[in-house]
């Protein structure tokens, strides 16, 4: 089988690119950025989740009791840059999700290159994240993050 294109097709429907933010007083700019890639499946499809984990060769699988789902997730930015981003550059998504991926890839690259530690870099990341299709509720909205960032003295 042509596993890479199967994986892209599967991810078209099932995967999620996300950029989340947390407030962290310890950080210079006060805002932590966390890009993550994930795919969840009903517990009967654990084998499928394992296949995806094994294909990318990075990330972890955990069981969510609440949803009775297995969730495969990659949170490490170097793993995202080494395995996830290159896959979708070579075997691109077709749907609307492709645009999410492009923003996600740029955020991952900015974080990988430590650009999230400068005000301009972090503002760019907040802007990109705000253009992504939210998976559920956003914890912090663009305006709020930019307002918090504006208060920080560099």
How buried is residue 118: exposed, middle or buried, by Cβ count under 10 Å (0-12/13-18/19+)? middle
User: Residue 148 interacts with its own copies (CB under 8 A)?
Assistant: no
Classify residue 125 by its DSSP letter. Answer: H
User: Residue 8 interacts with its own copies (CB under 8 A)?
Assistant: yes
* Beta carbon nearer to its own copies, 99 or 113: 99
Q: Which of 26, 47, 120, 137 binds its own copies (CB under 8 A)?
A: 47
State the minimum distance, in angstroms, from the CB of residue 3 to its own copies.
8
**What DSSP string runs through 73-94?**
EE--HHHIIIIIHHHHHHS---
Cα gap 99→143, rounded to integer Å: 22
Token reading at 133: 């299709």
Site for its own copies in 50-69 (CB under 8 A): 51
Instruction: Kindly indicate which of the ranges 4-12, 58-66, 104-112, 139-147 contains the residues binding its own copies, using the contact rule CB under 8 A.
Output: 4-12
User: Residue 131 interacts with its own copies (CB under 8 A)?
Assistant: no
Instruction: Kindly indicate which of the ranges 3-11, 55-63, 76-84, 137-145 contains the residues binding its own copies, using the contact rule CB under 8 A.
Output: 3-11
Site for its own copies in 60-119 (CB under 8 A): 91, 94-96
How buried is residue 67: exposed, middle or buried, by Cβ count under 10 Å (0-12/13-18/19+)? exposed
Cα gap 40→49, rounded to integer Å: 8
Residues near its own copies (CB under 8 A), total = 25
Binding residues for its own copies, rule: CB under 8 A, are: 1-14, 41-42, 44-45, 47-48, 51, 91, 94-96
């Amino acid at each position: 089988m042509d596993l890479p294109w199967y994986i892209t097709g599967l991810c078209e429907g099932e995967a999620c690119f996300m950029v989340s933010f947390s407030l962290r007083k310890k950080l210079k700019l006060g805002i932590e950025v966390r890009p993550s890639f994930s795919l969840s499946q009903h517990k009967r499809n654990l084998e499928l989740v394992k296949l995806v984990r094994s294909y990318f060769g990075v990330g972890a699988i955990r069981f969510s009791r609440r949803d009775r789902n297995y969730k495969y997730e990659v949170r490490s930015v170097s793993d995202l840059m080494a395995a996830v981003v290159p896959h979708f550059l070579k075997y691109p998504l077709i749907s609307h999700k492709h645009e999410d991926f492009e923003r996600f890839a740029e955020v991952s690259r900015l974080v990988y290159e430590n650009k999230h530690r400068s005000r301009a870099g972090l503002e760019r990341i907040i802007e990109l994240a705000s253009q992504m299709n939210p998976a559920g509720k956003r914890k912090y909205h663009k305006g709020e993050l930019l307002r918090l960032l504006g208060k920080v003295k560099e």
